[in-house]
A and B are shown apart, each in its own frame.
Chain A
Amino acid sequence: MCGIAGIHAYLKVAPPVDRAELGRMNDRMAARGPDGSRLWLDAGGRVGFAHRRLAIIDLSEGGTQPKHSADGALTITFNGEIYNYRELRAELQGRGYRFETGSDSEVLLQLYAEYGPAMVGRLRGMFAFGLWDARSRQLLLARDPLGIKPLYWADDGWTLRFASQAKALLAGGAVSADPDPAGIVGFHLLGSVPEPFTVWRAIHALPAGTTLIVDATGPGAPRRYYDVAGALAARSAAPPGDPASARQRLAAAVHESVRYHLVADVPVAVFLSAGLDSGALLGTMAQLGAREVTAVTLAFEEFRGGPLDEAPLAAEVAARYGARHVVRTVDRAEFDRDLPAILDAMDLPTIDGINTWFVAKAAREAGVKVALSGLGADECFGGYPSFTDVPRSVRWLRPFDWLPGVGALARRGAAAAIAAGLKVHPKMAGVLEYGGSWAGAYLLRRSVYMPWELEDLLDPALLDEGMRRLAPLGRIDAVLRGGDALCGFDRVAALETSLYMRNQLLRDADWAGMAHSIEIRVPYVDPFFLAALPPGNVLAAVNAKEAVADIPQPALPPASRGRRKTGFVTPVGRWLSEAAGSSGQTADFSTASRAWALRVWQAGWSGAAAS
């Protein structure tokens, strides 16, 4: 885990790295790493790295960073965890490499020495790092395949800067805070800012699954080394097995992934809801021999004793697997108290992350440093309504996609009717215009506001400029480029994994967890795990989202299975809409999120943003 930052003055005329600027960047990320803080500058002052440490593996001085290779030629500042680092170390030792510490960062250095930038393909874990190679005078930036750990960069044409947080780049003082219309439009459209954009023109997210090499001419093009649709297509190419073997594969994949995600030199806890996905994690942990696991459950004062209260069922699951159960109750007053801190910790505007904020806060209070989360299960097991809605929409409405103009005409009529008082969701006006294509149907499903609605919310010039560069439908389509032959289930899985999970869920898990110095580990978000699962049509056929209950032995209690998925039926939806100034009649998150998006924007970002 931790926070990283760096500055590389790659052009000869650029002034040397300013240690004070690097220090300011690092200080902005204090919560990410309370266990240590270090800066390193090379002798010529052309490159400098910063690191804030949250000690999880090799708690000794051997794990401190920035870390250098024995010959001093390689230096790394690294954020994340490499779960297969022991295997990689053994392999490298077999090739004659010698190791001085038990840290995973040293393994990264040696792996780079052996494989160069291609080493990223060998890593199982979550990571973002900057690696300086003094021999080739190249800086390598890399981010994990699915985008668990964030990495932002800014290049002014002389000097490149990077950091775990966009706000850390601004805090350094040398990066322009001019707004980026594409990111601003993206946020209002989707509720989170789609990579590679941020809301600042000068700051870019390094896309998940890519590397970036900076040489004496500056950064090259980000190079993609992992693509979700391509990986799912490769998975589909394998021969399908029978349903029984599919369930076995599913169970084996979860077991293996959880086993890897337990690698740590501190105890690993779990975020436990009443759902199947987190319960299966706890059960698997117990089955793998983890004892006295701390399980943290979030409960809401408003729901106490009612059908929406997750605590009783979670308690039953915790008891079944011998966990130390911590139930943390949150009420409206605490939400109001925390709201300023929440907005400050939010690195980029987002409509979500509140639940994660509180569960991470609870974990911190319970003395937890690392916790597993069920995040990502819905994306691989088909847990969202989009897995049925989107393919159905495309099947039925495709003809309208072929008739130019008809959809737009229908939308104008419907929007007028909705404005006049027709009681349907305003987005529904766009069903014929957007519903017939994969990208359009997905946008309709996931958008907060639709493009035509933004005309009332944003400055027309900003909207035009933003839409031109964002090109939302083309961007969504690009996700599926590597997977022409995918079944409907896998198409939606690729879209949800590459867009919603990456830009919304994982980014929120990062800032909300890091704000409380909690490392959130996500066993369902792992390319090795994804590859080990049966293909999407088989997962759908065996009803994977329910079959998860049978993965641990003993299986989850029967009450867990009967429970309707609650999703965001938490008071958070109501708080958000009240906090945003609406009447508060509804607890529907989709409607609440529209007002909340505007509130977040006004409170934290409008006027080109507080850092």
Chain B
Amino acid sequence: MTTRILALVGDCYGARGGIARYNRDLFEALAGAGADILLLPRLGNADGAALPAGVRQQPAVFGRLRYSIGAIWAAWRHRPVDVVFCGHVFMAPLAVLIARLLGARCWLQAHGTDVWGDRRSVVRTAIEAADQVTTVSRATRKALLDWVNLAPERVRVLPNTVGDQFIAGASSRALGDRLALGPGPILLTVGRLAASERYKGHEQVFAALPALRAKHPDLVHAVAGEGDDRGRLEGRAADLAPPGAVRFLGYVPDEDLPDLYRLADLFVMPSSEEGFGIVYLEAAACGLRVVGGAGGGGGDAIPDQRVGVTVDPSDRPALIESIERLLAEGRADPAAVEPYRRQHFAAAAQLLLARLLARPRRMRGAE
């Protein structure tokens, strides 16, 4: 029998960003196993997007009250529902309520910063009522278990997957010519430049550049990404780094990313709060070594020394030493990224769904 899933998500199809991409990967995997999925997003427009068979997305509703009422109504019409999936802990109370109303199981997904930011007791109680919780990283799982009273076996880890377009190879000459980054070496950071996400560690890299340039006079730090913090960061770069050492590339379309990675010599993002750090994996899959930040879930996307290291972002000597050492080591071994490929992710997602379905349905008022 087809498994019917109702999914409350922040965004999915027709949206940018790591969480939207994770959601698409997950629903594609579950639909691939025959699940019928109705998505209720708060943001994003799926018009024109190619949705996999078995997946439908309703128009986005942002307002909290309208969203809640609409979700309950849609849930009622979508009956019978086997699983209510909740893609953001912020919506956990609503998801648990709907799951109880419909006698469905509740699957809650936590990404990282959402868990560290929202500490309301109503959310905690809702998380504790979920039948299964998945997190993208071990660090998020630990942070969650430090806060909520959940049996440890109920919180599973489903790491992000890396797209098949990210493979090692020669970089495109056209892109190199267009960006004109010089002989290098090229350090690359890819991430949103948002005032709300200042933990990504751009400034720590800027501050390391004078010392790095002493040894590598042509070294360039290429910063890909756009956001409301760009102006401020440009100012910081002018203050901290030698002239011309930092190049802001702006938004780089997804299709150009593999080539951008291949063009660079080292991926550097000493982030202190990364939920997972999918960019680390994408870089490694393209053959780049990675210097990531210790803290948050970043360690999970840097599986071992074949790919890179994590450093304390505030420890400048360690950051400089790691960058110099990894530059000298050359390309990463993309085989280390193999377990993160799509077929393994899909298999793991399908096993988690089966595991959840093996649990009895929960009825109103029953424990």
Task: Name A residues whose Cβ lies closer than 8 Å to a Cβ of B.
Answer: 11-13, 15, 155-158, 176, 178, 201-202, 204, 212, 215-222, 468-469
Contacts and interface: CB of A to CB of B under 8 A. Distances in A.
Nearest to A182: B149
A216 B355 CA distance: 10
A176 B351 contact: no
A13 B156 contact: no
A9 to B, nearest CB: 10
Contact of B135 (A157, A176, A219, A220): A157
Nearest to A219: B153
Contact of A157 (B155, B340, B347): B155
A156 B339 contact: no
Nearest to B338: A12
Contacts of B216: none
A178 B351 contact: no
Contacts of B351: 215-217
A469 B155 CA distance: 16
Interface in B225-263: none
B352 interface: yes
B142 A156 contact: yes
Contacts of B223: none
A222 B141 CA distance: 19
Which 3 pairs, one residue from A and one from B, show the smallest C-beta to C-beta distance? A157-B157, A12-B339, A13-B339
B192 interface: no
Nearest to A159: B138
A13 B152 contact: no
A222 B154 CA distance: 11
A204 B152 contact: yes
Interface residues of B, number: 27
B300 interface: yes
Contacts of B145: 201
Nearest to A178: B146
A481 to B, nearest CB: 12
Contact of A13 (B142, B146, B155, B303): B303
A217 B300 CA distance: 17
11 contacts: A11-B157, A11-B159, A12-B344, A13-B344, A155-B152, A156-B142, A157-B137, A158-B157, A178-B146, A217-B352, A220-B153
A140 to B, nearest CB: 14
Contacts of A215: 351
Contacts of B123: none
Contacts of A220: 153, 355
A400 B135 CA distance: 46
A13 B340 contact: yes
B114 interface: no
Interface string B323-367: 000000000000000011000100110011001000000000000
B174 interface: no
A468 B142 contact: no
A584 B157 CA distance: 53
Given A11-B348, A12-B344, A217-B156, A156 B149 contact: no
A352 B299 CA distance: 42
B214 interface: no
Nearest to B124: A468
A85 B240 CA distance: 73
Given A157-B135, A217-B355, A468 B149 contact: yes
The dominant DSSP class at the A interface is: loop
B304 interface: yes
A186 to B, nearest CB: 14
B151 interface: yes
B348 A12 contact: yes
Nearest to A222: B153
A221 B153 contact: yes
B304 A13 contact: no
Contacts of A222: 153
Contacts of B352: 217
A218 B156 contact: yes
Contacts of A11: 157, 159, 348
B348 A217 contact: yes
A221 B153 CA distance: 6
> Which of A201, A215, A218, A221 has the largest number of chain B CB atoms within 10 A?
A218
A15 to B, nearest CB: 6
B304 A15 contact: yes
Contacts of B146: 178, 201
A201 B152 CA distance: 10
A219 B138 CA distance: 15
A469 to B, nearest CB: 5
Interface in B163-207: none
B155 A15 contact: no
B152 A158 contact: no
Nearest to A11: B157
A212 B151 CA distance: 13
A156 B155 CA distance: 10
B281 to A, nearest CB: 10
Contacts of B135: 157
Contacts of B300: 13, 158
Given A12-B347, A12-B348, 9 more contacts: A11-B159, A11-B348, A12-B339, A13-B339, A15-B304, A157-B156, A201-B146, A218-B157, A469-B149
B140 to A, nearest CB: 9
Nearest to B136: A157
A158 B339 CA distance: 12
> Which residue of A13, A176, A216, A469 has the most chain B CB atoms within 10 A of its CB atom?
A13
Contacts of A158: 138, 157, 300
Nearest to A202: B142
A156 B138 contact: yes
A113 to B, nearest CB: 24
B315 to A, nearest CB: 21
Contact of A15 (B153, B303, B347): B303
Contacts of A12: 339, 344, 347-348
- Which of B135, B159, B352: most chain A Cβ within 10 A? B159
Contacts of A155: 152-153
A13 B137 CA distance: 11
Interface in B58-95: none
Nearest to A156: B138
A304 to B, nearest CB: 51
A12 B348 CA distance: 9
B142 A176 contact: yes
Contacts of A219: 152-153
A269 to B, nearest CB: 40
B299 to A, nearest CB: 11
Which of A12, A201, A204, A221 has the most chain B CB atoms inside 10 A of its CB? A12
A216 B152 contact: no
B159 A13 contact: yes
Nearest to B145: A201
Nearest to B160: A13
B348 to A, nearest CB: 7
A196 to B, nearest CB: 9
A18 to B, nearest CB: 11
A181 to B, nearest CB: 10
